[in-house]
Structure 1
Amino acid sequence: MTITSLAILLQVSSPNQNSSEVVFLAILSVLVILLTGISGKVNMGFQVPGFSRPLSSKRKEILKKHFPYYCQLSPNRRKRFEQKVQHFIYVKEFIPRQIPIVTEEMKVLISACAVQLTFGYPKVFLSHFKRILVYPDNYYSTINKTFHKGEVNPRLRAVVISWKAFVAGYFNPKDGRNLGLHEMAHALRLENLILNAEYNFFDGAVLQQWQTLADQEMQNISAGNSRMFRGYAATDPDEFFAVAVENFFERPEKFKSLMPNLYGILVLLLKQDPLNPL
């Protein structure tokens, strides 16, 4: 029953209708209004809170100043991007490591990085990964006894970022190396496999095509015949995907020119094309 029909029903109720029935209908109409509002937000991708606030002017200025991907979007797509950034900040716990606080700039730009990668999926927010740990620089891992710039830990539900390395990734946007995109790509690939509300969002047929082409290119890399990807991409399929994502956003012209089939499949997989952002 629609809100309009409920209102009409209330208006034409019999004078003899008892007060409890009228009250029930009134409460029902209010509930429908509230649920309709919440549904509208869910359709826009806002799954956790049933409400949203606009991104603050301070946060918008951070995006305008430091995030080229956002700046090249059309006004309507900018609004969608802002909504996703706002929601991502809202649902994640940003945890400082060896620094006093995670600043607004850190929160906005790390969130924007995740939104850049997931922009083709309005309802995907990497929901399994509740925590974003931010270090000032490379950090020492007690698990494998080595220094890291970043990692994704599904057991701890965490994405870990070296802020220095993250900034460096966006400072040189054409070298095909971007720590933020690399780690968020790992999180995205894992998120697709984890049984939750965001499970299995990748198209299975497209993913299979991707893996076939990826396997071929990993062989080329191992043989020293790749003109596109660094050797680390041949480590395993997860690292190949992460390195491909870096190049997809940072060197799309070269990527498409040298590997049009692989590039085209990644366009389908991520539901966006850096060469046609509008």
Structure 2
Amino acid sequence: MEIGSIVLLGFLLVALTAIIFNYIFKMIEMAYVMRYRKPMYNHVYLYLKRLNKSQKLILEKQFTFYNKLPEKSKRYFEHRVFCFIEDKEFIGRAGVEINDEIKVLISATAIMLTFGFRDFYIGLISKIVVYPSKFYSKTNEAYHKGEFNPKLETLVVSWEDFKEGYKTNQDNLNLGIHELTHAIHINSIKERDVSSTIFSDTFKELSDLLVNDEALRTRLMTSGYFRKYAFTNQFEFLAVVIENFIETPLEFKRQFPEVYVKVKQMLNFRIANY
């Protein structure tokens, strides 16, 4: 047999072995997900990237969630923020100059929400546009504080209102969390990675729970815990629910434990105080 044929045969055997191994792994993980409702693993990296000193200082001084993490998780979080910044195009409008604060805080919000995911990039976002304050949107010819346009793969936010969302951590109003949840939600419908599948399947379970449990549905709508905007449609409901979950988890768990468990499962949130 010629050397070229031997090399080709060897390559085909390696490729076939990789395909078989990948198939077996997916079958094993599928069984694991069905039983435990979470991915087999989230954080496996060949090399952990680091933010520069000024970027890391922004995380430490302005992002409470980061400071609650154990040291090992902080390194993973920092790595993911670095990768998210590198993956997205940040664009300033109406005089906004894109700086490290904008990049780090928006990216950190995305990473916080996807910290329980294996794929944290939110592939439907390629551009992040930042205005100084409310902006005019051609989508519905009105002024917005934020919006996500899946067709243009663009997240748009008012920086003034984004920052306002972090001034008070327990008012359940956070523009960044709200708009990024829309992006994650739509992305989960489009993608079929394990985390997106868990997210979308669990949201369906939550929706079915609310449809079939009239008493629970009524309590949600009349409790005053969730603002009325939540009941506009399923997308706004989920965005508001996750704002509440992030900012007041203990109160959420106390009032609506069955809903809380579903949201925690969707996000695979296995972090202290959640």
Tell me, yes or no, whether TM beats 0.5. yes
**Structure with greater contact order relative to length (CA < 8 Å, sep ≥ 6):** 2
CA RMSD, 1 decimal:
2.8
Question: Which amino acid is 1:99 matched to?
Answer: G
Pair 1:250 & 2:244 matched: no
Maintained 8 Å contact 2:81/2:111: yes
Superposed, which structure 2 residues align to 1:146-225 within 5 Å? 146-195=142-191, 200-202=196-198, 205-215=201-211, 219-220=217-218, 225=222
Return the match for 1:67 from 63, 67, 73.
Answer: 63
Give the Cα–Cα distance (whole angstroms) in 2 for the partners of residues 203 and 160 of structure 1: 23
Give the Cα–Cα distance (whole angstroms) in 1 for the partners of residues 99 and 140 of structure 2: 29
Unaligned segments of structure 1, at least 5 residues: 1-19, 29-42
Bigger radius of gyration among the two: 1
Question: Which is further off, 93-102 or 206-215?
Answer: 206-215
Pair 1:96 & 2:97 matched: no
Unaligned segments of structure 2, at least 5 residues: 12-41
Q: What secondary structure, in the 3-state scheme, does the structure 2 residue paired with 1:193 have?
A: helix
Question: Which amino acid is 2:113 matched to?
Answer: L
Q: Which residue of structure 1 aligns with residue 225 of structure 2?
A: 228
Maintained 8 Å contact 1:249/1:274: no
Give the Cα–Cα distance (whole angstroms) in 1 for the partners of residues 172 and 89 of structure 2: 29
Q: What secondary structure, in the 3-state scheme, does the structure 2 residue paired with 1:160 have?
A: strand
Inter-CA distance 128–198: structure 2 relative to 1 (3 Å threshold):
farther
Return the match for 1:56 from 32, 35, 52.
Answer: 52
Maintained 8 Å contact 2:48/2:75: no
Q: What secondary structure, in the 3-state scheme, does the structure 1 residue paired with 2:147 have?
A: strand
Q: How big is the shift at 1:192?
A: 0.6
Q: Which residue of structure 2 aligns with residue 262 of structure 1?
A: 259
Superposed, which structure 2 residues align to 1:124-163 within 5 Å? 124-163=120-159
Give the % identical residues: 35
Give the Cα–Cα distance (whole angstroms) in 1 for the partners of residues 133 and 51 of structure 2: 28
Q: How big is the shift at 1:56?
A: 1.3
Q: Which residue of structure 2 aligns with residue 9 of structure 1?
A: none
Maintained 8 Å contact 1:150/1:161: yes
How many equivalent residue pairs? 236
Q: How big is the shift at 1:58?
A: 1.2
Q: How big is the shift at 1:45?
A: 6.5
Return the match for 2:235 from 226, 238, 249.
Answer: 238
Maintained 8 Å contact 1:186/1:242: yes
Question: Which amino acid is 2:158 matched to?
Answer: S
Inter-CA distance 197–259: structure 2 relative to 1 (3 Å threshold):
closer
